[in-house]
Amino acid sequence: MSMRLEMGLFPVSKIIVGKRFAYKDETLTVDADELRKLALEEGDLKDVRFDAAAPGDSVRITNVLDAVEPLYKVSGRSCAYPGFLGPAKTAGEGRTHKLAGMCVVSSTHFLGPMTGIMSFREGIIDMCGPGAVHCTNSETANLVACYEPLDNASNEAHDDAVRLATLKIASRLAERTKDMEPVRVETFELGDVDPALPRVVYVDQVMHQASMVQTFMYGKNLGDSLPTLIHPNEMLDGAVVGANYKTQQKAPTYLHCNKPLIYELYRRHGVDLDFAGMIITRGHHDNQALKERSAQYVAKLATLLKADGAVLAFEGGGNSTVDYWLTVQALEQMGVRAVPIIYEVGRPGTGEFPLVFHVPEADAIVSKGMQGERIAAPAVERVIGSEVVEFYNGKSVNTREAFTLIDSDYYASEWAKDINNMVGKDY
């Protein structure tokens, strides 16, 4: 499918919460009153306040749900974050303006009871110190929107309200640039290449279990959907929105729009490979039969794309690893060489197996590094969000003070290993 996407970039390294919109020399000034009015216009939130944090600031952000990159569709059939901010028309072509290097970060709490998987798990972003490398969005300038739920709001309704408000705020900020000339423009197009180059497909396994652990595509959660072909430009343009709040497994919308593998495969397209496209598939199917069905479907789609090889990203843990490795196995058995990229869980010297599950066909595994490191988080000058938080294990801490935590308690630490170039090596 021929699609050409122009991404007009407006780099942001500093955010000022003010009374008007302005953009100059990578400094973004936002109109907090306008954004508050926009967030509350549906009547589904009690209030919202805004704060800003930049990389290196002595700031700790707590209660983090999502991080959304400001996108606005300047030309093209679709809109930014289609299915939420407009009709679910196919994204990935035309021109989109992006406030690059920044995110709108949603921070909130829930009033209703939570049990099991349908639980929000604390997410912390340290903007400085030893923990910064272990969390996603410590490297972006962040406009933090701290939301207050309505007194009678269910967890699901509040989650939906926060998601929509955050997407609207982010897109409104980018919309202010619609008549401005971007600092630079990047073009994404899968043009024809030497047919002798190996065709490589990107398989992106994302999470869906229930409320608090889900992923949306064009405004609808993946639910019981089958693996789906998707053009990488659709991802860059906001077709996929994250809503997985399982601590280290949290996958911010920002990451769906900036998956490192998409950029790497684009960079190598026409050089040493032919980027054949993407397959998006959900993890954590309820039983073995559904897992095998999904894995076989991914492999079938890869063969329809005439793929010689596949690289596989992984969002999740535990149960979802079975889906993941069965997909690797199905690809290999259908003649598509598979390269899984996954983190390890066994700590050195413990005798624990580093993978929850695996298959003998997996003979080209890339390790993103190991989870389980203990981090001494220093005291900070400022906390955005709740100062006292409770982790999934029941431990409560005052986050303004120094404390120790496991790296997996940091926000989206599973993806931080990608962004910060961690890797597992023999020793």
Mean pLDDT of 202-207: 95
Q: Is the pLDDT of residue 82 over 90?
A: yes
In a domain, 419, yes or no: no
CATH number at residue 307: 3.40.50
pLDDT (tens digit per residue) in 211-269 = 888 999 999 999 889 999 999 999 999 999 999 887 667 889 999 999 999 999 999 99
In a domain, 28, yes or no: yes
Same domain, 406 and 353: no
The residue out of 321, 353, 371 marking a domain boundary is 371
In a domain, 403, yes or no: yes
Same domain, 52 and 180: yes
Q: Which pLDDT does position 316 carry in this prediction?
A: 79
Tokens 């930014």 sit on residue? 80
Mean pLDDT of 174-185: 97
Mean pLDDT of the chain: 92
Share of residues in the chain with pLDDT > 70 (%): 96
Is residue 10 classed as helix, strand or coil in its secondary structure? coil
Q: How far apart are CA 264 and CA 328, in angstroms?
A: 20
Same domain, 355 and 270: yes
Q: How far apart are CA 407 and CA 278, in angstroms?
A: 30
Q: Which pLDDT does position 336 carry in this prediction?
A: 98
pLDDT (tens digit per residue) in 366-388 = 888 777 788 999 999 999 999 99
Tokens 């919109």 sit on residue? 21
- Structural domains in the chain (count): 2
Q: How far apart are CA 224 and CA 245, in angstroms?
A: 19
In a domain, 425, yes or no: no
Same domain, 13 and 48: yes
Q: Which pLDDT does position 72 carry in this prediction?
A: 98
133 neighbors 407 (Cβ within 8 angstroms)? no
In a domain, 241, yes or no: yes
Same domain, 185 and 197: no
In a domain, 418, yes or no: no
Please state whether beta strands 94-98 and 59-61 pair in parallel, antiparallel, or not at all (unpaired): unpaired
In a domain, 297, yes or no: yes
Same domain, 261 and 176: no
Same domain, 170 and 289: no
The residue length of the chain stands at 427
Same domain, 284 and 315: yes
In a domain, 421, yes or no: no
Parent domain of 236: 191-371
Q: How far apart are CA 278 and CA 313, in angstroms?
A: 11
